[in-house]
Amino acid sequence: EEIQRETAYPDGKVEKVLKNGCHLIFFPNGTWKKVGSDGKTITITFFNGDVKQVMPDQTVIYYYADAKTTHTTYSDGLEILHFSNGQIEKHYPDGKKEITFPDQTIKNLFTDGQEESIFPDGTIVRVQRDGSKMIEFNNGQRELHTSQFKRREYPDGTVKTVYVNGQQETKYVSGRVRVKDKDGNVIMDTKL
């Protein structure tokens, strides 16, 4: 672009005004700033390789050169981080966070302390504030983990519970109940 005017300042800064209306400002440390002809689009290229862009809608895009990470902040408060390993984090204005890992697992962190992870195979894990965990498998089975027991529910209605003391209880859809002690010995079986 053709230079319309160039000004050198005592502090070492140099400003160039281009005929298209852009302003280029060069700082002694190697940082430089470009102000677009609209006066609203600003790009700052720092001496360390970081780049900050401010868009006309006030979206701010910051690229961290060393970490190879881009952090975009939108005017509505949404922040999105793109990491070099492919991980993407979305930080919502209400405090919720959504993380997409390189393997495409998605983890949601809610403001009330609950978490939800959705794995590529369709498995969903929900963790409550009290630490209890519900796992929904893609084959229709569900598991509930609490501090007292682990319970698996099968699509046919069978429910197997393993208690912290090792005792196991299996309830079948037929009404049959089988209980085993911690060593696997049957202590009750109501065969119908």
pLDDT in tens, 20-48: 999 999 999 999 999 999 999 999 999 99
Q: Tell me, yes or no, if the pTM score tops 0.75.
A: yes
Whether the pLDDT of residue 192 is over 80: the answer is: no
- Rounded to whole angstroms, the Cα distance separating 58 from 77 reads 11
Amino acid at 157: G
Show the tokens assigned to 16: 């160039």
CA nearest neighbour of 26 among 40, 11, 41, 37: 11
| Identity of the residue numbered 17 | V
Question: What DSSP letter does each residue of 10-44 carry, written as one string?
Answer: TTS-EEEEETTS-EEEE-TTS-EEEE-TTSS-EEE
| Angle, CA 36 vertex, CA 30 and CA 37 arms, to 5° | 135
pLDDT at 1: 74
Bridge-based pairing state of the strands 186-189 and 159-163: unpaired
Sign, CA dihedral 19-25-31-36, equals negative
Average per-residue pLDDT for the chain: 95
Nearest CA to 77 among 98, 60, 99? 60
